[in-house]
């Protein structure tokens, strides 16, 4: 019985041309070999399973090849290539920094670097997972990495570049490896399946590519796992059952039912998903991705962003034709809100079901809104000739009638601008309006559809000290609904006219001052302006603490105390414009 070799090892790339998904990096390395511009240190960084160590080995093998081909690939015939392929090369050294991360290991490496190569030009040192080196090991490695012998080349590989100290990064040429695209992974899996004589459905390989999350090594491991279960035939159902992946069909069914407002069908579909053992969060996350793909399918230019087979893309195009854009936007918003609040919900199933019900109501709500807008537009688009308007002679004949008997023209929508009120040509004075009784204004309100507050038309009183005191009592009475504490505070407040332009409000403490300034000062000003013809008056606040035994803490308290005790200080502040709080 032959020993089984996993696909990740059996089909590991042996040349630059076999590396997939990293064309820019392989082209740069081949160009460096061609032009003999080889650096003494390289850093390959990126996610797992994207080809960092593989490229390092191919690069090391190609550098020492004696007979390079025209495409700058190793010949696999010279002694250097043969020794590398049989894992007996003394010029290429691999070190696992995860298990050799001490300073003694790096010192041993520094001593080994001095030995020249036996075959070829260079001794290549590949250090994998270099971020695992200790701080002292990094420091011991610095000098050798910066000024190695001319025959030494270091290739460092890591998945966590941020853990490497900047002094190491500055001594290396850095190559960032990308995640491999799903299309490239599927192409590689089809090549492996064909080489192994396995009949694999393209949809099944797409699911494997999505599950691998950009790592080809993970994809090959999953492929071997599916082959162990299914044998020489891999179907879409085998893959989703083995990998616990939710079928596309559930998402298509959910959206179709939501478009028709079929709440029962949507809830039954979700129940079927739960019975298969899937989590509600997994379902709502997949549904959001499905809605995103439907939105992208609206434009043929963005259709390539969907990572699916041509058959699935065709189904997306068919379903997105039924979905209004507004529905997709609101559905995405609903699904995203459900996703964010899922973990904090005490009843996750009910939380998802409510979101699905909202999803089913979106089309109905949009239809109702459109119908309402259509009705409003039809009502506004009444033709001008259909509205009975008084003739010009009728308006002139009634010009001498009392105002409550005059004709007020109704609103005329023109269709292009806001409604305009047409008024009689004869004008009237404000004094005439004020002198009228309340009844004509009520009749005017009924005729023109206006709301007129007759209190606003009353003449305002002149402002005086006595009028202010009466208004202060009235203002305090209006505050009775805001609590006993506020009413008590205003009853203890002593307003005082300091001069003709200044009203000083005396308060007991700083807390009362903050409450008055933040919540009641502007209300008092508005109350006075509504009641009186106000001159230019400034309302100042002060905290009276001169007669109390309180300790003076702030600068404002101290200055108020001095101003009250020595009024000349305040005059001096105004005269010389002193910056005193």
Sorted by sequence, the CB contacts under 8 Å of residue 442 that are 6+ apart come out as none
Considering the chain, what is the average pLDDT of its residues?
80
Residue at 558 is within a domain: no
Q: Between these two residues, 101 and 509, which has the higher pLDDT value? A: 101
Residue at 381 is within a domain: no
209 pLDDT higher than 80: yes
Residue at 535 is within a domain: yes
86 and 166 in one domain? yes
514 pLDDT higher than 90: no
Note the pLDDT tens digit of each residue in 548-581: 455 565 777 777 777 777 777 777 877 877 776 6
Cβ burial of 418 (10 Å; 0-12, 13-18, 19+) is exposed
The Cα 14–Cα 61 span in angstroms is 9
CB 281 within 8 A of CB 354: no
Residue at 360 is within a domain: yes
116 pLDDT higher than 50: yes
Question: For residue 125, what are the β-bridge partners?
Answer: 93, 154
133 and 105 in one domain? yes
Among residues 13, 14, 16, 4, the alpha carbon closest in space to that of 84 is found at 14
401 and 441 in one domain? yes
Among residues 9, 3, 5, the alpha carbon closest in space to that of 216 is found at 9
The Cα 173–Cα 116 span in angstroms is 23
148 and 33 in one domain? yes
CATH number of the domain within which 41 lies: 3.40.50.300
What is the span of the domain harbouring residue 487?
A: 461-544
Note the pLDDT tens digit of each residue in 152-194: 999 999 999 999 999 999 999 999 999 999 889 999 999 999 9
Say what the pLDDT of residue 428 is. Answer: 45
Secondary structure of 318-363 in the HEC alphabet?
Answer: HHHCCCCHHHHHHHHHHHHHHHHHCCCCCCHHHHHHHHHHHHHHHH
The Cα 318–Cα 99 span in angstroms is 55
CATH number of the domain within which 235 lies: 1.10.8.60
Tell me which of 156, 176, 196 is where a domain ends: 176
Note the pLDDT tens digit of each residue in 253-281: 999 999 999 999 999 999 999 998 888 99
How many CB atoms neighbour CB 288 within 10 A?
18
Residue at 1 is within a domain: no
Residue at 551 is within a domain: no
Q: Domain tally for the chain?
A: 5
252 and 239 in one domain? no
Note the pLDDT tens digit of each residue in 377-424: 555 555 444 555 555 555 555 555 554 444 444 444 444 444 444 444
Say what the pLDDT of residue 425 is. Answer: 44
Note the pLDDT tens digit of each residue in 468-497: 878 888 888 877 777 777 877 887 787 877
Sorted by sequence, the CB contacts under 8 Å of residue 429 that are 6+ apart come out as none
CATH number of the domain within which 269 lies: 1.20.272.10
How many CB atoms neighbour CB 50 within 10 A?
25
Helix, strand, or coil (residue 44): strand
CB 529 within 8 A of CB 468: no
521 and 476 in one domain? yes
How many CB atoms neighbour CB 262 within 10 A?
15
Residues 108, 112, 113, 119: is their CA dihedral positive or negative? negative
Q: Quote the distance between the C-alpha of residue 187 and its chain's center.
A: 34
CB 239 within 8 A of CB 27: no
Note the pLDDT tens digit of each residue in 340-387: 999 999 999 999 999 999 999 988 776 655 555 555 555 555 544 455
Among residues 364, 352, 355, the alpha carbon closest in space to that of 333 is found at 355
Question: For residue 497, what are the β-bridge partners?
Answer: 503
CATH number of the domain within which 500 lies: 3.30.300.180
Q: What is the DSSP letter of 218?
A: H
The Cα 152–Cα 123 span in angstroms is 5
Residue at 382 is within a domain: no
Tell me which of 416, 437, 457 is where a domain ends: 457
221 pLDDT higher than 60: yes
Among residues 321, 297, 320, the alpha carbon closest in space to that of 308 is found at 297
89 and 147 in one domain? yes
129 and 159 in one domain? yes
102 and 154 in one domain? yes
279 and 371 in one domain? yes
523 pLDDT higher than 90: no
508 pLDDT higher than 60: yes
Sorted by sequence, the CB contacts under 8 Å of residue 466 that are 6+ apart come out as none
Q: How far is CA 464 from CA 274, 512, 530, 532, in A?
A: 77, 26, 15, 9
Helix, strand, or coil (residue 70): coil
Residue at 554 is within a domain: no
The average pLDDT across 278-287 equals 92
313 and 256 in one domain? yes
The average pLDDT across 454-462 equals 61
187 and 145 in one domain? no
Say what the pLDDT of residue 447 is. Answer: 44
């Amino acid at each position: 019985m032959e020993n089984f070799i996993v696909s990740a090892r059996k089909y590991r790339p042996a040349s630059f041309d076999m590396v997939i998904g990293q064309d820019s990096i392989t082209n740069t390395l081949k160009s460096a070999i061609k032009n003999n511009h080889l650096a003494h240190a390289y850093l390959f960084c990126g996610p797992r399973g994207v080809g960092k160590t593989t490229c390092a080995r191919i690069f090391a093998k190609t550098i020492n090849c004696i007979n390079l081909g025209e495409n700058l690939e190793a010949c696999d015939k010279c002694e250097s290539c043969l020794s590398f392929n049989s894992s007996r090369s003394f010029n290429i050294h691999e070190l696992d920094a995860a298990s050799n991360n001490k300073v003694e290991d790096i010192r041993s490496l520094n001593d080994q670097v001095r030995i020249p190569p036996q075959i070829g030009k260079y001794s290549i040192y590949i250090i994998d997972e270099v971020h695992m080196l200790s701080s002292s090991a990094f420091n011991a490695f610095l000098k050798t990495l910066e000024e190695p012998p001319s025959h030494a080349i270091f290739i460092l590989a890591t998945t966590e570049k941020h853990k490497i100290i900047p002094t190491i990064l500055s001594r290396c040429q850095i190559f960032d490896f990308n995640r491999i695209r799903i299309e490239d992974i599927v192409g590689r899996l089809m090549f492996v399946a064909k080489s192994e004589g396995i009949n694999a459905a393209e949809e099944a390989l797409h699911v494997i590519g999505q599950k691998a999350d950009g790592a080809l090594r993970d994809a090959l491991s999953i492929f071997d796992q599916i082959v162990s279960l299914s044998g020489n035939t891999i179907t879409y159902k085998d893959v989703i059952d083995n990998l616990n992946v939710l079928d596309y069909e559930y998402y298509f069914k959910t959206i179709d039912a939501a478009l028709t407002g079929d709440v029962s069908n949507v809830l039954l579909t979700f129940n079927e998903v739960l019975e298969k053992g899937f989590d509600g969060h997994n379902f709502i996350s997949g549904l959001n991705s499905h809605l995103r793909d439907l939105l992208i399918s609206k434009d043929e230019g963005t259709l390539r962003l969907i990572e699916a087979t041509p058959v699935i893309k065709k189904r997306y195009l068919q379903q997105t034709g039924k979905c209004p854009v507004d529905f997709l936007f609101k559905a995405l918003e609903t699904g995203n809100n459900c996703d964010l609040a899922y973990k904090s919900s005490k009843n996750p199933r009910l939380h998802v079901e409510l979101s699905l019900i909202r999803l089913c109501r979106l089309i109905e709500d949009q239809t109702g809104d459109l119908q309402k807008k259509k009705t409003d537009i039809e009502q506004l688009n009444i033709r001008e000739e259909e509205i009975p308007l008084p003739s010009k002679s009728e308006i002139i004949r009634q010009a001498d009638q009392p105002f409550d008997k005059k004709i007020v023209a109704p609103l005329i929508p023109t269709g292009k601008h806001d409604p305009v009120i047409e008024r009689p040509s004869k004008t009237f004075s404000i004094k005439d309006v004020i002198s009228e009784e309340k009844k004509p204004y009520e009749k005017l309100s009924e005729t023109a559809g206006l709301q007129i507050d007759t209190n606003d038309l009353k003449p305002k009183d002149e402002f005086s000290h006595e009028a202010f005191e009466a208004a202060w009592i009235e203002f305090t009475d209006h505050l009775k609904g805001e609590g006993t504490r506020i009413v008590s505070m205003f009853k203890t407040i002593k307003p005082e006219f300091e001069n003709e332009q200044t009203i000083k409000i005396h308060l007991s403490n700083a807390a009362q001052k903050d409450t008055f300034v933040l919540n009641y000062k502007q209300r008092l000003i508005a109350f006075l302006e509504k009641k009186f013809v106000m001159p230019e008056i400034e309302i100042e606040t002060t905290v009276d603490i001169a007669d109390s035994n309180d300790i003076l803490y702030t600068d404002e308290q101290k200055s108020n105390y001095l101003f009250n005790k020595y009024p000349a200080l305040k005059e001096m502040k105004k005269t010389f414009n002193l910056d005193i709080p």
